[in-house]
Every structure is written in C-alpha cells, then in structure tokens.
Amino acid sequence: MIIPAIDLIDGAVVRLFQGDYAQKTQYQLDPVDVVNDYANQGANWLHIVDLTGAKDTDKRQLSLIKRMVETKRMDFQAGGGIRSEKDVSQLLDIGVKRIVIGSLAAKQPELVKQWVSKYSPEAIVLALDVNIDEQGNKMIATHGWQQSSGVALEGLLEDFLSVGAKHVLCTDISRDGTLQGSNESLYAQMKQQFPSVVWQASGGIGSLADIEALKPTHVDSVILGRALLEGKFTLTEAIACWQDA
C-alpha cells in the first residue's frame, strides 16, 4: 500500500530535513484540501505527524486533525510526541485509527506494550527510526533523532512481538528527506526476519523507480512525503506503480 504523509506545524503543511526543525520547508496548502486531493487520487490511509504536538503535547493540533478525520475520505494514523495514555486516547477519540509511537517505545517499552494489549495491535504503530553504523548495527534514535537509545531494532521488536505488536514504520534516518532512495536491504532483511510484522518503509523516496526498487523487499507499505509535495510524481502514479507487481 502507498501511504501519503503530511507533517503539520501550527496548522501549516511542512517538511523537515532529517527531523531538523531549523531545516523546514513550508507549503502553501490547506491540510483538509490535501486530504481530499490524496483521497481523490486513491489513497486509503494518511500518515499525520503533529510536529507542534511533538514539541509541546499541550499544543497538539487536535481540532485540525479532527477536521481532517471528519472528511471520512480515508483512514488515518497519527503521531508526534506521544508520551502518555492521554495522548493516545485523545487521538483515538477523534477517530484516528492508528496511533504512531516513536521514542517512547524504546524508552518505556513496558508502558507501550500495555497500550498494545489494551487498545489492540491494530491501534498502535511503532515508529522506529534507526541509525545504522559501519558494523550494520541498527540502533533506534530518540528525541527527534538527536539521541541514540542504545536499543537495537531487532531486540525491541522481539520484545514487542510478545504482546502481538503488528505495525512498524521504520525509517533509515540517513535517507529521510533526501529523495535519494530507500534502504532496500534494511527492509528486505527485516521482512524476512520478522514476517508477521506489517512493515511501513519510510524515508528517501524520490522517484517511481525508488518505489519499484522496494517491491522485491516484500515491505507492506511505503510512506511518501516530500516527493509528493514537490511534484516528483503524483500519488496516482505511485499507487499504479506499486500495484503493478
């Protein structure tokens, strides 16, 4: 599945380069218009990152996200600084189907495992952003990629599989926002090692050829952000490319 992504700061559609708020591109787009546009092009899901809420959970853009959900044009997964069960329940209450949890999964796994059990594996997406070192170790980064958790991707996944965790959005940080292509070997290896996980590949897609290159990995979904906003190709073209297996 192709899943378009939208990043929001103070109601505006933006993109960050490798998670850096100082390297921000703002687009003159209304988020609800983007929902309708992507739905018209065939999207079934939208991935929302609330960057304002990630910095300050008291400023989570709930009213905007609610307006997007109320279009009923597709299903939504949303995240950005999910730090408490209140954050999870607030988003579920306004109709978001899946809550995307990043740093907390590495920092407080027992808490997040409780949420997987309570709200169901379908309701939680683990967003695992990795730095891969020269030895091939996949270490999860936290705090907007500024810190290493010291936790390896494989170890964390084994832990979460014990409670039936299902959805994982995995980003190779070195590729994000670069339009230089995905890390196909990462996803091929992870899908082979953890076949029960529904994998979402994120970061680096800059062309239809990059989407094509992910097919042999058997990854389940591809997240598209900057490439769509900058018109590298249309969402309709991306969906057609992915389905032409």
Q: Is the pTM of this model over 0.85?
A: yes
- pLDDT of residue 102 exceeding 60, the answer is yes
Tell me the pLDDT of the chain averaged across its residues: 93
- pLDDT of residue 16 exceeding 90, the answer is no
Domain that holds residue 178: 2-243
- pLDDT of residue 137 exceeding 70, the answer is yes
Query: Would you state the pLDDT for residue 22?
Result: 87
Q: Which residues are CB-neighbours of 155 under 8 A, at least 6 positions away?
A: none
The more confidently predicted of residues 184 and 173 is: 184
What is the CATH classification number for the domain harbouring 106? 3.20.20.70
Query: Would you state the pLDDT for residue 144?
Result: 55
Contact between 179 and 232 under an 8 Å Cβ cutoff? The reply is yes
Confidence of residue 175 (pLDDT cuts 50, 70, 90): confident
C-alpha–C-alpha distance, residues 48 and 174, integer Å: 21
- pLDDT of residue 7 exceeding 90, the answer is yes
Residue 41, token pair as written in the block: 């092009």
Domain count for the chain: 1
Residue 233, token pair as written in the block: 């190709």
Tell me which of 31-40, 178-187, 224-233 is least confident: 178-187
Contact between 98 and 142 under an 8 Å Cβ cutoff? The reply is no
DSSP β-bridge partners for residue 13: 8, 27
Q: Which residues are CB-neighbours of 198 under 8 A, at least 6 positions away?
A: 166, 167, 168, 220, 221
What is the Cα 217 distance to its own chain's centre?
18
- Catalytic sites, residue numbers: 7, 129
If phi > 0 it is left, if psi is from -120 to 50 it is alpha, else beta; for residue 176 that is: beta
Confidence of residue 32 (pLDDT cuts 50, 70, 90): very high
* Torsion sign, CA atoms 192, 193, 196, 199: negative
3-class DSSP state of 35:
helix
The more confidently predicted of residues 178 and 82 is: 82
C-alpha–C-alpha distance, residues 126 and 218, integer Å: 19
